[in-house]
Protein backbone atom coordinates (compact mmCIF):
# COMPACT_ATOMS: atom_id res chain seq x y z
CA UNK A 1 0.00 0.00 0.00
CA UNK A 2 1.46 3.36 -1.05
CA UNK A 3 1.69 6.09 1.57
CA UNK A 4 -1.15 8.55 1.30
CA UNK A 5 -0.70 12.24 0.72
CA UNK A 6 -0.75 14.34 3.89
CA UNK A 7 -4.04 16.16 4.42
CA UNK A 8 -4.07 19.73 3.07
CA UNK A 9 -4.51 21.24 6.55
CA UNK A 10 -1.27 19.72 7.85
CA UNK A 11 0.78 22.54 6.32
CA UNK A 12 0.71 25.83 8.25
CA UNK A 13 -0.61 28.84 6.43
CA UNK A 14 -0.50 31.57 9.07
CA UNK A 15 2.28 30.14 11.22
CA UNK A 16 4.75 31.08 8.50
CA UNK A 17 6.77 34.25 7.93
CA UNK A 18 4.18 35.54 5.45
CA UNK A 19 1.26 34.70 7.73
CA UNK A 20 2.88 36.29 10.79
CA UNK A 21 3.65 39.43 8.78
CA UNK A 22 0.02 39.62 7.63
CA UNK A 23 -1.30 39.28 11.20
CA UNK A 24 1.24 41.84 12.49
CA UNK A 25 0.21 44.31 9.76
CA UNK A 26 -3.48 43.87 10.53
CA UNK A 27 -2.96 44.54 14.23
CA UNK A 28 -0.66 47.51 13.52
CA UNK A 29 -3.40 49.11 11.39
CA UNK A 30 -6.09 48.70 14.05
CA UNK A 31 -8.66 51.53 14.05
CA UNK A 32 -8.35 52.31 17.76
CA UNK A 33 -4.57 52.09 18.17
CA UNK A 34 -1.60 50.24 16.76
CA UNK A 35 -1.16 46.87 18.47
CA UNK A 36 2.19 45.12 18.80
CA UNK A 37 1.53 41.63 20.19
CA UNK A 38 4.15 39.72 22.14
CA UNK A 39 5.86 36.99 20.11
CA UNK A 40 4.00 34.25 22.01
CA UNK A 41 0.67 35.99 21.34
CA UNK A 42 1.46 36.28 17.63
CA UNK A 43 2.47 32.62 17.49
CA UNK A 44 -0.73 31.56 19.24
CA UNK A 45 -2.90 33.70 16.96
CA UNK A 46 -1.26 32.17 13.89
CA UNK A 47 -1.74 28.63 15.20
CA UNK A 48 -5.41 29.37 15.95
CA UNK A 49 -5.93 30.80 12.45
CA UNK A 50 -4.43 27.60 11.05
CA UNK A 51 -7.19 25.67 12.81
CA UNK A 52 -5.00 24.24 15.56
CA UNK A 53 -6.76 23.82 18.91
CA UNK A 54 -4.80 25.85 21.42
CA UNK A 55 -4.64 26.12 25.21
CA UNK A 56 -2.70 29.11 26.52
CA UNK A 57 -1.60 29.18 30.15
CA UNK A 58 0.18 32.32 31.27
CA UNK A 59 0.74 34.23 34.47
CA UNK A 60 -1.69 36.92 35.53
CA UNK A 61 -1.11 40.02 33.40
CA UNK A 62 0.88 38.15 30.72
CA UNK A 63 -1.63 38.75 27.93
CA UNK A 64 -4.24 35.98 27.82
CA UNK A 65 -7.08 38.46 27.26
CA UNK A 66 -4.98 40.33 24.71
CA UNK A 67 -4.34 37.07 22.87
CA UNK A 68 -8.06 36.41 22.59
CA UNK A 69 -8.93 40.01 21.67
CA UNK A 70 -6.15 40.26 19.08
CA UNK A 71 -7.34 37.02 17.48
CA UNK A 72 -10.89 38.43 17.29
CA UNK A 73 -9.57 41.68 15.72
CA UNK A 74 -7.74 39.71 13.02
CA UNK A 75 -10.81 37.58 12.30
CA UNK A 76 -13.05 40.66 12.31
CA UNK A 77 -10.84 42.33 9.72
CA UNK A 78 -11.80 39.55 7.28
CA UNK A 79 -15.52 39.26 7.98
CA UNK A 80 -16.69 41.30 4.98
CA UNK A 81 -14.95 38.84 2.64
CA UNK A 82 -15.85 35.64 4.49
CA UNK A 83 -18.94 33.56 4.16
CA UNK A 84 -19.77 32.58 7.74
CA UNK A 85 -20.70 28.92 7.88
CA UNK A 86 -19.97 25.80 9.86
CA UNK A 87 -17.23 23.84 8.13
CA UNK A 88 -15.63 20.47 8.83
CA UNK A 89 -12.16 20.47 10.40
CA UNK A 90 -9.85 20.70 7.33
CA UNK A 91 -11.65 23.72 5.89
CA UNK A 92 -12.09 25.71 9.09
CA UNK A 93 -8.95 27.80 8.80
CA UNK A 94 -9.22 31.17 7.07
CA UNK A 95 -8.15 31.31 3.39
CA UNK A 96 -4.84 33.25 3.34
CA UNK A 97 -4.88 33.86 -0.41
CA UNK A 98 -8.40 35.32 -0.28
CA UNK A 99 -7.51 37.59 2.65
CA UNK A 100 -4.35 38.83 0.90
CA UNK A 101 -6.30 39.53 -2.27
CA UNK A 102 -4.45 36.79 -4.19
CA UNK A 103 -6.65 34.61 -6.37
Whether 61 has a pLDDT exceeding 80, the answer reads yes
Question: 11: pLDDT confidence band, cut at 50, 70 and 90?
Answer: low
CA distance 103 to 85: 21
Query: Which DSSP state fits 81?
Result: G
Q: pLDDT at position 40, please?
A: 92
- Predicted TM-score (pTM) of the model is 0.65
CA distance 58 to 27: 21
Query: Which DSSP state fits 19?
Result: H
Q: For residue 33, what are the contacts with CB-CB under 8 A and spacing of at least 6? A: none
**Could you tell me what percent of the chain has a pLDDT over 90?**
22
CA distance 103 to 88: 23
Can you tell me the mean pLDDT for 13-34?
A: 88
Higher-confidence residue of 89 and 26: namely 26
CA distance 63 to 56: 10
CA distance 92 to 75: 12
Higher-confidence residue of 43 and 78: namely 43
Three-class SS state of 16? coil
Q: pLDDT at position 41, please?
A: 93
Amino acid sequence: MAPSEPPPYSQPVYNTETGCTLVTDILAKNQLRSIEPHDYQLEGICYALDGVDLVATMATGAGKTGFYCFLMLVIDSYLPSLKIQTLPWPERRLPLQEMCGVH
